[in-house]
Amino acid sequence: MKKSHLFSLVFFYLLLVSVSSDVIHDSCDKAAKGDPNIKFDFCVSSFEGNPKAKTATGVADLVKVAIETAMANATSIGSIISKLLDNKTLDTYARHCLEDCSELYSDAGSSIQSGGKAFEGKDYGTANAEISSAMDAPDTCEEQFKEKKGIVSPLTKENNNFFQLLAIVLSFMNLVPK
């Protein structure tokens, strides 16, 4: 009897993991096919290691995880910017750009948080607008560095990844049945 019960638990767990893996892969596949800014491998790797994503039973669950991931990423980028600003030999123009980027990412975090609350309340229009608003941060941050010759953004990878995470959030939100 105990072996049968244990087998049932293991089978159920494997089935759940398989379902969530399918949800991740299917959602990422649709997102990547629908938006040239989303890379399938980046999307999958952003969720496969996340325990909350592994228990997702549908795309709405993945939206919540994607919002949390984007929020954590905005916070992480804010920390990276703070460390870069600690460099006393930093070029004045680059320092100005980083200070602006810090504010942009702080605002983006607020927008993501508002978007997450709107999504939870099924106010999808507001959620979409808030997440879309947050997408301005990486582009604006990156473009500032290009305005002065010889200045290279130290945040290119972070900006690109953050933009892609937000594109994934929007794409997943569009997959949620209304």
What tens digit of pLDDT does each residue of 73-124 get? 999 999 999 999 999 999 999 999 999 999 999 999 999 999 999 999 999 9
Helix axes 124-134, 136-146, angle to 10 degrees: 20
Q: d(Cα 75, Cα 151) in Å, to the nearest integer?
A: 24
3-class DSSP state of 90: coil
- What pLDDT shows up at residue 15? 40
Q: What is the C-alpha separation between 39 and 35, in angstroms, rounded? A: 9
Do residues 31 and 172 make contact, with C-beta atoms less than 8 angstroms apart?
yes
pLDDT digits (tens, 9 = 90+) for 28-87: 999 999 999 999 999 999 999 899 998 899 999 999 999 999 999 999 999 999 999 999
Task: Name residues whose C-beta falls within 8 Å of residue 117's C-beta, 6 or more positions apart in sequence.
Answer: none
Q: Over the stretch 145-168, which tens digit does the pLDDT of each residue have?
A: 999 998 999 999 999 999 999 999
pLDDT at 99: 98
Q: What pLDDT score was predicted for residue 35?
A: 96
CATH number at residue 116: 1.20.140.40
Q: What pLDDT is stored for residue 6 in this prediction?
A: 47
Number of domains in the chain: 1
**Residue range(s) defining the domain that contains residue 88:** 2-175
